[in-house]
Amino acid sequence: MTYRLFEGKDHASSYWKFRICPSDNLIQQVLDFLEKHKGHPFELAVDVGCGSGQGTVLLAKHFASMVATDVSPAQVEMALQHSKEPNITYKQCVAEELPLADSSVDLVTAMSAFHWFDRPRFLQEAHRVLKPRGCMALLNYTMEMELSYPDCCSQTLNQICQEFYAALVPYRSAHLGSNSIELYREAYKSLPYPDKEWHECVRVKRLMPLSSFMGFVESFSSYQTLVREDLQKATALSQDISHRLMSVMKVSSAETEVEVSVRYYYLLACKPEEA
């Protein structure tokens, strides 16, 4: 079954405000793989588990048409509010039952979403809708982002961040196991396609206010679970971490910009001509 944890309007809004989307370079790696194994024209791409649509918009400019799906009505509504591209169609549906014809899609993507799906069923569904030589790209990032700030000890900053992440581990969904990267490695190994690639330790760096970094972590499912169980505890944890980070940085405003380094990993795979 698909896990439905991101459906509240407030959570969808925080997704739009704070979630980091793949870099242009990462998107280009996906497009280069598609170009190499299938070639043009790039007619139809499908972004499954699109959330509030940041990654969808990045891909859409390269395709004649784009379908973006999410199980959450609130996420689809948020994506529609912020995306006016005429070639994108948003649909609410589960990842394992896509409203698309057999062998009709050039590229299937899932950006920071595959780990929530019924993974074997989704891989079968992606296989069904992909054209021969069509490609699949499953991307995600680790929770352990790293901060840096001028004239500040990064080791001390990131020790505080590690304490933040560790405090959320007890609220992590059992569906994800101890580390999501293993779910993606398992999917890579299970795919019977001869043309496939595995990449990890791909760093994406973004400048953002410290408050946005905090909002990013607070949008994680583990933090949201803590909010539902004990709002006071969640708020106190977040405030303590923010104050300690500002103290190390020697600043008084959470709007001070920091550099956030996110480690991506992803798999790319091409459906064989005859499969």
Q: With CA atoms as reference, report the closest residue to 22 among 65, 44, 61, 54.
A: 54
Of the chain, the percentage scoring pLDDT greater than 90 comes to 63
What pLDDT is attached to residue 275? 55
pTM of the model: 0.86
Give me the mean pLDDT over the 200-224 stretch. Answer: 88
Residue 23 carries which side chain, given as an amino acid letter?
A: S
Instruction: Give 218 or 11, the one with higher predicted confidence.
Output: 218
* pLDDT per residue as tens digits for the range 55-65: 898 999 999 99
| pLDDT score, position 23 | 83
For the chain, the first-to-last Cα distance in angstroms comes to: 25
Measured in whole angstroms, the distance separating CA 274 from the mean position of its chain's CA atoms is 31
pLDDT at res. 15: 46
Percent of the chain past pLDDT 70, that is, above it, reads: 93
Q: For residue 147, what pLDDT is reported?
A: 93
Q: 52, 19 in Cβ contact below 8 A?
A: yes
Q: Give the 3-state secondary structure of residue 197.
A: strand
Quick one: average pLDDT of 218-241? Answer: 92
In whole angstroms, what is the distance from residue 23 CA to residue 233 CA?
A: 34
pLDDT higher for 91 or 22? 91
- pLDDT classification of 84: cutoffs 50, 70, 90: confident
Spatial separation of the C-alpha atoms in residues 82 and 19, rounded to whole Å: 14
Of 16-30, 91-105, 145-159, which one has max mean pLDDT? 91-105
Q: In terms of Cα–Cα distance, which of 16, 18, 23, 15 is closest to 212?
A: 18
d(CA 264, CA 192): 23
The whole-number pLDDT of residue 7 equals 45
Q: Tokens for 1, please give them.
A: 């079954």
Looking at residue 78, its pLDDT comes to 80
- What's the mean pLDDT when you consider all of the chain? 88
Is the pLDDT reported for residue 13 higher than 80?
no
